[in-house]
Structure 1
Amino acid sequence: MVIAVTGGTGFLGAHTVALLVAAGARVRVLARVPAAGSVPDGVEVVPGDVTDEAAVARLVAGADAVLHAAGVYSFDSRRRAELARVNVAGTETVLAAARAAGAGRIVHVSTVGALYPADGSIGPETPVGTSREPYLAAKAAAERIARRHRDEGVPVTIVYPPALLGPADPRLGDQNARLRDLLRGLMPFWPSGGLPIGDVRDTAAQLAAVLTAPGPVGPAYFGPGHFVTTRDYLDLVRTATGRRLPAVFLPPALLTPVGRLGGLLQRVWPWHIPAEHGAIHVCAVAQPVAATAPDAGVPARPAAATVTDTVRWLHDAGLLTARQAGRASSRESVAAPATGRSR
């Protein structure tokens, strides 16, 4: 079985590619400049990116299945144009090419955020979101593209991961970077509200299962994860590290001007500013996924295990000091607090 993958050198993509290779699939990835060791031995690399029509056509030619996992996940105000180019135009390019190549299975990685704001819990029938926040708006636009192809009879399956944490993050993506900032003391203020979190290893297992399933697959699956309040999230990190991590929780409406100001300053300030309007907005509008939403049978591991493993990896990778990682820097077992709800 030949599986073509975009985003195969990224966080979720790299974990998924490793599982596909272990399952015996022939994997071909699209990559601009793959670093040494960024793809497993035996994986074919097609040079290019998702907006390069010729490169994408070479990627999907003869593939039995296509995984479109490439995307920019960032609330950084400086990346607005990149969000539109990669997440929107790139999705149209990849799905159109996979359709033209006659791929028998096309899996598009969306996000639950593409359905925000929602009226109640989220499921397969939830309409596409209408947020104007640049990242969520770009993912919503990509979602409309994927649904259009699916409605026209193309075998597109849409997968909706939560915000992903976990080890072995090649480029330190948004959620792992945010956790690192928290442990470095850069995030003393938090919005009330909640957010969906999951483990990259669980979503990768879900994607691999959908791509290699011997029989028909469904039109949509929701990634394994947990919905937690921001207070619960901080409690998970405190338990994992044994640190107090003082924080002030404020209504999102009070923090939104701070986030907008941070976005304006970010355009001229060369270093990343943790106060981001998009992240605050997500905490204000996020909703849990319905317990009945399809998940391809892949369960979510405990959120405490995910947080602990992520902090430990950040320390082992030299991105946190032992003091910042607390007891997660050792192999000491950590009891899980009873926080959050599944999905």
Structure 2
Amino acid sequence: MTVLVTGGTGFVGSHSVAALLAAGHRVRLLVRDPARVPAALRPLGIDPAAVEVVTGDVTDPDAVATAVRGCAAALHAASVYSFDTRDHARMRTVNVRGTELVLGAAVAAGLDPVVHVSSFGALVPAHRTPITPDAEVGAPRETYLDSKARADRVARRHQAEGAPVVVTYPLAALGPHDPHLGDQTARLRNALRGLMPVWPRGGFPVGDVRDLARLHAAVLESGRGPRRYLGPGRYVDTREYLDVLRRVTGRALPAVRLPAAAMLPVGALTGLVQRVTPVHLPAEYGAIYTCAVAGPVDTTATDRLLDGAAVPFERTVADTVAWLVATGRISPRQAGRLAAAAPRPSGHPAAGPR
């Protein structure tokens, strides 16, 4: 089938495009800048000519209507994922209004399924744990998470009306080949560069972007109606996160862990300063808040759909670090023992031992 993909030049979107093509689907991308397509897809072994490209923005009704026409299904992955306070206005527009337009047009055109890529963050603070895909939409006190919760309510309204909308809730995604060095990859990179000596206690659910891409290919079945799935992965405490990073690199990476509640005021102050500072400040309120309110996740339905084959967290971290050093984003010294990791890790959704 021909699948419309929004956000196809992003981290999750580009890996999902690779998985859809591998599954035999035809892909049409709705992108603001076609020049970004080769840079996003070629590292994954995809010839840009293998996809159809429509130029436009998800907040433009005419562009969305043009992109939807002639497609059988849609994967709406376009989103501004950032805890940077300078991005607040853009994420409210793209994450909420873009979702309203894309899902509305796709449902009206009879596409089946229409997959909305949400976030586990739309479900926090959780009323109970472990968090399930059918948990209530949260009311988070942070702009990015709030925008995803609002977008999730749009998707659930369509589901309540019987539309074949499938919602996926990615966990914090890591893995190789991140076209724009998104929030999670940047945080791992900052830790290796010594820019994060203080971490909040608590943790967050983490998954491999290649597994998430496999999920998006797996849910593209028509006639099955509304469904919801958490992204593959598991909850990782920040202590374990740092221990794994130390283990795969062989570096000491000294860090202090403080109660998340005590760090929230610092994060809020940093956010105010960030509005007038051109240099990105790593102490983000949203990241600290997530550690404070996130909890374990129940991925039973997802594991069943994917036969339980998920990339181990340590392998995900190692592949991410190896890619960062192979592409010059960190120095060999910062990569530690992984500086000698020879060949560059594959970005194919099925790559790597399970």
Q: TM-score range by the shorter chain?
A: over 0.9
Cα distance in 1 for partners of 2:134, 2:187 equals 31
How far residue 41 of structure 1 moved from its aligned partner, in angstroms, is 2.1
TM-score for the superposition, normalised by structure 2: 0.91
Equivalent residue for 1:255?
Answer: 263
Q: Does residue 56 of structure 2 align to residue 45 of structure 1? A: no
Specify the alignment match of 2:274 in structure 1: 266
Q: Structure 2 CA distance, aligned partners of 1:288 and 1:246? A: 26
> Residue 104 of structure 1: CA displacement?
1.7
Which residue is equivalent to 1:92? Answer: 100
Counterpart for residue 312 of structure 1: 322
Partner of 1:302: 312
Structure 1: distance between partners of 2:219 and 2:187: 30
| Aligned-pair CA distance for 1:215 | 6.3
The count of aligned residue pairs is 332
1:17 aligned partner: 17
Q: Please report how far the alpha carbon of residue 269 of structure 1 lies from its aligned counterpart in structure 2 after TM superposition.
A: 1.1
Alignment match of 2:228 (pick from 208, 220, 231): 220
Query: Are 1:121 and 2:130 matched, yes or no?
Result: yes
SS in 2 for 1:158: strand
Residue equivalent to 1:75: 83
Partner Cα distance (1:226, 1:123) in 2: 12
Report whether the alignment pairs 1:147 with 2:159.
no
CA offset at residue 36 of structure 1?
Answer: 5.5
What is residue 194 of structure 2 aligned with on the other side?
Answer: 185
3-state SS in 1 of match to 2:277: coil
Answer yes or no: is the 8 Å Cα contact 1:130–1:137 preserved in 2.
Answer: yes
Given candidates 62, 69, 84, the residue that maps to 1:54 is: 62
TM-score (norm 1): 0.94
Distance in structure 2 (CA, Å) of the matches to 1:112 and 1:160: 5
Query: Amino acid of the residue matched to residue 11 of structure 2?
Result: F
Q: Is this contact kept in 1: 2:15–2:213, CA < 8 A? A: yes
Larger mean CA deviation between 31-40 and 175-184 belongs to 31-40
What is the CA-CA distance between 1:293 and the residue it aligns to? 4.2
Could you say which residue in structure 1 is the equivalent of 2:140?
A: 131
User: Which stretches in structure 2 are left out of the alignment for 5+ residues?
Assistant: 42-47, 343-354
| Structure-2 separation of matches of 1:78 and 1:147 | 29
Query: Secondary structure, in 3 states, of the residue corresponding to 1:271?
Result: coil
**Which residue in 1 is equivalent to 2:347?**
none
Partner Cα distance (2:225, 2:323) in 1: 34
Alignment check: 8 A CA contact 2:201 2:292 kept: yes
The list of structure 1 runs, each at least 4 consecutive aligned residues, that deviate by more than 6 angstroms after superposition, is none
The offset of 1:331, in angstroms, is 2.5
Alpha carbons 1:16, 1:205 under 8 Å: kept: yes
How far is the alpha carbon of 1:23 from its aligned partner? Answer: 2.4
Aligned to 1:2: 2
Could you say what the CA RMSD is over the residues aligned between the two structures, in angstroms?
1.6
Tell whether the 8 Å contact from 2:208 to 2:311 is kept in structure 1 after alignment. Answer: yes
Of 229, 239, 243, 2:247 maps to 239
Q: How far does residue 125 in structure 1 lie from its aligned partner after superposition?
A: 2.7
Q: 1:17 to 1:24 in 2, by over 3 A?
A: same
**Distance (whole Å) between structure 1 residues aligned to residue 301 and residue 20 of structure 2:** 25
Quote the residue 1:27 is aligned against: 27
Opposite residue 174 of structure 1, the aligned amino acid is D
- Which of 330, 336, 341 lines up with 1:331 in the alignment? 341
- In the TM superposition, what is the alpha-carbon distance from 1:222 to its structure 2 partner? 1.2
Partner deviation per Cα, 1:226-247 (whole Å, 9 max, x = no partner): 2110000001100111000000
Preserved CA contact (<8 Å) 1:76 1:276: yes
2:177 aligns with 168
Q: Distance in 1 between matches of 2:289 and 2:24?
A: 42
Q: Secondary structure at the match of 1:306?
A: helix
State the secondary structure of the residue aligned to 1:41.
Answer: helix
Match of 1:275 in 2: 283
Residues 191-249 of structure 1 show CA distances to partners (whole Å, capped at 9, x for unaligned) of 000111111001001101112x4763661111111211000000110011100000000
SS of residue in 1 equivalent to 2:50: coil
Query: Post-superposition shift, 1:286?
Result: 0.4
Report the CA distance between 1:162 and its aligned residue: 0.3
CA contact 2:232–2:299 (8 Å) conserved in 1: no
Counterparts of 2:58 and 2:299, CA distance in 1: 34
Residue aligned with 2:82, SS: coil
Helix, strand or coil at the partner of 1:235:
helix
Percent identity reads 58
Please give the alpha-carbon distance, in whole angstroms, between the structure 2 residues aligned to 1:48 and 1:215: 29
1:294 Cα deviation after fit = 3.8
**Structure 1 residue 124: Cα displacement:** 3.0
Q: Aligned partners of 1:128 and 1:237: how far apart in 2? A: 32
In 2, distance between residues paired with 1:269 and 1:218? 43
Does the CA contact (< 8 Å) of 1:50 and 1:94 recur in 2? Answer: yes
In structure 2, distance between residues paired with 1:155 and 1:278? 32
2:298 paired residue number? 290
Is the deviation greater in 118-127 or in 267-276? 118-127
